[in-house]
């Protein structure tokens, strides 16, 4: 029987001669990543075991992105821990450059066929470029920084075949909310997901990154998109490094196959308090909002900002509503500035934040008070995720978010676009 992409990549990164789903193996990593939330815990564990070296200083990336610029003394000290550790061991280090899951691909550090472990659940984002990427805990991160190895159970693979083409305004965020609603928050637990079919051809890299990012909200261990011409062009614009792209054999075993017609998907909104609570935007239209956030590692890409600006241009945010714009990286921020997008946002009444995870995890730059409701392009809407435990977060893509900021309540973009 043939092998899946996950089985092939793990085999080539381990000493196993033959492996199958369910096997537990020791695999060597191509890249490790931790941030200013998970990083300090990994660093402390690393020191507790009296480690005095890392396996390869060129393969470990530490990023300050959740609480930067430092919002208080505690957060400043968190960032200092990883900053000092990176300096001591000459690791790759970024601060105030962007959100990890957008920044690493932008820097050309993510390549097809790599095995990437990150101390953050949304590390799965890199599957948009054909890498096997997954989240691990701080203790495993400390051990991996020393040895270069991680323990893995080989996951089964679930195939999702995308057919047809996207309707107006619909993007990757709508697709993944639709998929999670269909399979549930546990529909892909410890599975790899492969997105395939002709429908993938119409998806931008930004949509693919967003979809890959949120597969973990259905429990996925990792995710893969085919390394097609669009992906290859994205990589070629950022690095000249060589890589090997993998794909599943035609006779590989898939534990489940799901077919999705993209033409069946309208704009989606996930209502509190699960990303799986996706509904057609028309079903929840009219919900009054206190805040709208456009940004994060899911929808802070330039494409997303262009969509939002196209809706907001010449219009004003509803009085008493807060609109926060967060470009995912410094480079995206700069491009948005050069294209005049930031002027559109400012004229509309928005606040523009530097690249940060900030409000997504209830960190800062947009905390919700008791009873407040927010619509966000972030990836989670759990109880208390963005602030007070009695606040509510709705999830949507940039088109719905921008339109709703104008209206002051959840609405379809066609209601505000002439």
Q: Are residues 155 and 296 in the same domain?
A: no
User: Which tens digit of pLDDT belongs to each residue from 316-339?
Assistant: 999 999 999 999 999 999 999 999
Coil, helix or strand at residue 145:
helix
Q: Are residues 204 and 305 in the same domain?
A: no
Q: Are residues 317 and 208 in the same domain?
A: no
| pLDDT(309) > 90 | yes
Q: Are residues 119 and 199 in the same domain?
A: yes
Q: Are strands 115-118 and 132-135 parallel, antiparallel or unpaired?
A: parallel
- Number of CB atoms found within 10 A of residue 55's CB: 16
pLDDT of residue 267: 97
- 344 domain residue, yes or no: yes
User: Which tens digit of pLDDT belongs to each residue from 197-227?
Assistant: 999 999 999 999 999 999 999 999 999 999 9
Determine the length of the chain.
Answer: 418
Q: Are residues 182 and 48 in the same domain?
A: yes
Once rounded to an integer, what is the mean pLDDT over residues 64-93?
94
Q: Are residues 70 and 201 in the same domain?
A: yes
Contacts 24+ apart (CB under 8 A), 135-141: 135/216, 138/34, 138/38, 138/41, 138/42, 138/45, 139/42, 139/45, 141/32, 141/34, 141/38, 141/42, 141/45, 141/117
User: Which tens digit of pLDDT belongs to each residue from 219-255?
Assistant: 999 999 999 999 999 999 999 999 999 999 999 999 9
pLDDT of residue 30: 98
Per-residue confidence at 28, pLDDT binned at 50, 70, 90?
very high
What is each CA distance from 326 to 156, 305, 307, 315, 336, in whole angstroms?
36, 9, 14, 19, 11
Q: What is the CATH number of the domain that holds 407?
A: 3.30.499.10
Q: Which domain holds residue 186?
A: 9-261
Q: Do residues 395 and 275 lie in contact, with contact meaning Cβ atoms separated by under 8 Å?
A: yes
Per-residue confidence at 297, pLDDT binned at 50, 70, 90?
very high
Q: What is the Cα–Cα distance from 154 to 253, expressed in whole angstroms? A: 13
CA atoms within 13 A on the CB side of 2: 12
- 4 domain residue, yes or no: no
Residue with the two structure tokens 């930067």: 68
Q: What total number of domains does the chain contain?
A: 2
To the nearest whole percent, how much of the chain has pLDDT over 70? 100
- 64 domain residue, yes or no: yes
Q: Which two tokens mark 170?
A: 């619909």
- 2 domain residue, yes or no: no
pLDDT of residue 358: 87
Per-residue confidence at 101, pLDDT binned at 50, 70, 90?
very high
pLDDT of residue 146: 97
Q: Are residues 302 and 160 in the same domain?
A: no
- 3 domain residue, yes or no: no
Once rounded to an integer, what is the mean pLDDT over residues 294-311?
96
Per-residue confidence at 18, pLDDT binned at 50, 70, 90?
confident
Between vectors from CA 396 to CA 310 and to CA 116, what angle results, nearest 5°?
105
Residue finishing a domain among 261, 293, 318: 261
User: Lowest-confidence range among 110-124, 175-189, 326-340, 354-368?
Assistant: 354-368
Q: pTM for the whole thing?
A: 0.95
Q: State residue 219 phi and psi, 5-degree precision.
A: 90, 5
Q: Are residues 203 and 109 in the same domain?
A: yes
Query: Which neighbouring-strand residues pair with 27?
Result: 14, 150
- 97 domain residue, yes or no: yes
Q: What is the Cα–Cα distance from 325 to 335, expressed in whole angstroms? A: 14
- 13 domain residue, yes or no: yes
Q: Are residues 346 and 371 in the same domain?
A: yes
| pLDDT(361) > 90 | no
Picking from 43, 33, 5, the residue whose alpha carbon sits closest to that of residue 297 is: 33
Q: Are residues 182 and 273 in the same domain?
A: no
pLDDT of residue 162: 97
| pLDDT(17) > 80 | no
Residue ranges of the alpha helices (H) in 90-169? Answer: 100-106, 138-147
Residue finishing a domain among 230, 261, 292: 261
Picking from 210, 170, 180, the residue whose alpha carbon sits closest to that of residue 297 is: 210
Residue finishing a domain among 213, 231, 261: 261
Q: Are residues 17 and 148 in the same domain?
A: yes
Question: E strand or H helix at 93, and its extent?
Answer: strand 92-95
| pLDDT(280) > 80 | yes
- Arithmetic mean of pLDDT over the chain: 95
- 1 domain residue, yes or no: no
Per-residue confidence at 1, pLDDT binned at 50, 70, 90?
confident
Sheet holding 92-95, edge to edge: 92-95, 60-64, 31-35, 115-118, 132-135
Picking from 3, 232, 244, the residue whose alpha carbon sits closest to that of residue 114 is: 244
Q: What is the Cα–Cα distance from 35 to 173, expressed in whole angstroms? A: 24
pLDDT of residue 15: 84
Q: Are residues 182 and 321 in the same domain?
A: no
Residue with the two structure tokens 């294209």: 339
| pLDDT(179) > 90 | yes
Per-residue confidence at 360, pLDDT binned at 50, 70, 90?
confident
């Amino acid at each position: 029987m043939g092998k899946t992409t996950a089985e092939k990549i793990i085999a080539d990164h381990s000493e196993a001669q033959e492996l199958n789903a369910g096997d537990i193996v020791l695999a060597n990593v191509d890249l490790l990543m931790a941030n200013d939330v998970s990083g300090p815990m990994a660093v402390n564990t690393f020191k507790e075991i009296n480690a005095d070296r890392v396996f390869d200083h060129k393969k470990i990336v530490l990023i300050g992105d959740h609480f930067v610029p430092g919002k208080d003394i505690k957060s400043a000290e968190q960032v200092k821990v990883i900053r000092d550790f990176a300096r001591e061991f000459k690791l790759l280090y970024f601060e105030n450059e962007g959100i990890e899951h957008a920044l690493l691909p932008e820097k050309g550090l993510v390549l097809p066929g790599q095995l990437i472990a990150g101390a953050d659940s949304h590390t799965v984002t890199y599957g948009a470029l054909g890498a096997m990427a997954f989240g691990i805990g701080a203790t495993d991160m400390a051990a991996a920084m020393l040895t270069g190895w991680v323990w893995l159970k080989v996951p089964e693979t679930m195939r999702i075949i995308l057919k047809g083409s996207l309707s107006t305004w619909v993007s990757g965020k709508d697709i993944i909310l639709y998929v999670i609603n269909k399979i549930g928050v546990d529909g892909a637990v410890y599975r790899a997901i492969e997105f395939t079919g002709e429908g993938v051809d119409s998806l931008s890299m930004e949509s693919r990154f967003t979809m890959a990012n949120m597969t973990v909200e259905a429990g996925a261990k990792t995710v893969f998109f085919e390394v097609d011409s669009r992906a290859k062009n994205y990589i070629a614009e950022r690095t000249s490094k060589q890589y090997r792209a993998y794909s599943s054999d035609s006779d590989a075993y898939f534990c489940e196959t799901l077919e999705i017609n993209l033409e069946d998907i309208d704009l989606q909104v996930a209502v509190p308090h699960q990303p799986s609570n996706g509904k057609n935007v028309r079903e929840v239209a009219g919900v009054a909002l206190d805040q709208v956030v456009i940004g994060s590692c899911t929808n802070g890409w330039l494409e997303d900002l262009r969509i939002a600006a196209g809706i907001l241009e010449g219009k004003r945010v509803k009085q008493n509503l807060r609109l926060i714009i967060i470009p995912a990286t410094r480079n995206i921020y700069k491009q948005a500035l050069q294209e005049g997008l930031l002027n559109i946002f400012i004229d509309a009444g928005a606040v523009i934040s530097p690249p940060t995870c900030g409000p997504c995890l209830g960190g800062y730059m947009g905390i919700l008070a008791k009873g407040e409701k927010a619509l966000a392009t972030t990836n989670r809407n759990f109880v208390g995720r963005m602030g007070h435990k009695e606040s509510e977060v709705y999830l949507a893509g940039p088109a719905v978010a921008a339109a709703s900021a104008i209206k002051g309540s959840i609405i379809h973009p066609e209601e505000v676009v002439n």
